Chains A and B, each alone.
Chain A
Amino acid sequence: MKPLSDGDFLKKSREPKGLRGFQYHVHPQLRLTQDQTIDSAINIGSSNVDDLMFYKLLLNCAASELPDGIPSLLEGLDVGVTPLNAGALDYVAQGLTTPGGWFQAPPLLLPQTDDDDAYDNADLLNEALVAHDVHVQLLDTIFTQAAVAQETVYVLGYEQRITVR
C-alpha cells in the first residue's frame, strides 16, 4: 500500500447531486503486484451536518474481536479484487450496530476561503483536515504506518470502478 502522492492519503469529493457539502476520504493505493496498484476511497467524514459520519475503530484488536467469519474470509483471499458474497459482512447481522463503540465524526469544515478550488490542492487539504480533527490524524497515522510496514490491508465496499495501473 502507498499514499495517493507523497505522504498524502486525503481527497475531497463532492457528495451526490442534491446533497450539501463534501465527503472526505483517505485514498490508500493498494498494491496488487510490484507493477499494479488500485485506488480505494475510505470514508473519514462529511461537511454535511444533516448527514454526519459515524465510525467504529478497533486498534490492534484480537482476531476474536472481529465479526464472526471475517478472519477466515480475509485470510483465505488472494491478493487482488474479489467480489463479496452475500453475508460477507452485514453491520446489523454481525452486531456492529449494537449500542456503544461508535463515534460521531465532527463536521469536517475547512477554513473559509474565497477560492472554491483551494482545497483541491492535496497538501492544503491534508494540512487543514489533519490539523483540526483527532480521528483524521489517527487514520492518517494508521495508514502511514501500514504503508511503511507494507502491511496487508483489506478494503470491503462498493466497487464503483477499478483501474489497475
Chain B
Amino acid sequence: MNQGFTSGPQANLVNKDGAVFIAHADGTWTAYYTAFNSSSLPTNPSTGEPLDGALPFFTAVEATAANHTPQ
C-alpha cells in the first residue's frame, strides 16, 4: 500500500499497511487503522513514494494526541 517512505520498507506494495475489522452481531463494525510517522503524505499513487513537499504523517493527517474518545 501507499506508505510514503523515503527509506526502509518500500513503499506501495499491497500488503504494506494493515487494518483490523470486527463484525459485530448487531451489524455494526469496529475498524482500526495504524500508521507510523516515518511515512509522509501525499504520495505518488504509482510508486508510493512521497511527493515534493510531502509532510510527516502526523502533520498531514492533523493527528490529535491521545488519550482520546473515539467516534
Contact = CB atoms under 8 A, between A and B. Distances in A.
Interface stretch (A31-39, A52-60, A114-122, A123-131): A52-60
Nearest first, the 6 A-B pairs at minimum CB distance are: A157-B18, A134-B67, A99-B62, A92-B2, A60-B28, A102-B63
Interface string B43-71: 10100000000000110111111111011
B64 to A, nearest CB: 5
Given A60-B29, A92-B41, A154 B14 contact: no
B29 A105 contact: no
A53 B15 CA distance: 18
Interface of B: 1-2, 14-38, 41-43, 45, 57-58, 60-68, 70-71
Contacts of B35: 53-55, 91, 97, 102
A90 B1 CA distance: 5
A151 B25 contact: yes
A89 B2 CA distance: 10
A153 B41 CA distance: 29
Determine the interface band of chain A, counting residues with CB < 8 A from chain B.
35 or more
Given A102-B62, A103-B66, A63 B38 contact: no
Give the one of A87, A89, A98, A153 with max B CB within 10 A. Answer: A89
A99 B36 CA distance: 15
A52 B31 contact: no
Contacts, number: 176
Given A84-B15, A92-B42, A97-B41, A135 B67 contact: yes
Contacts of B17: 89-91, 157
Contact of B22 (A70, A105, A134, A152): A152
Contacts of A111: none
A55 B33 contact: yes
Given A43-B18, A53-B34, A99 B61 contact: yes
A4 interface: no
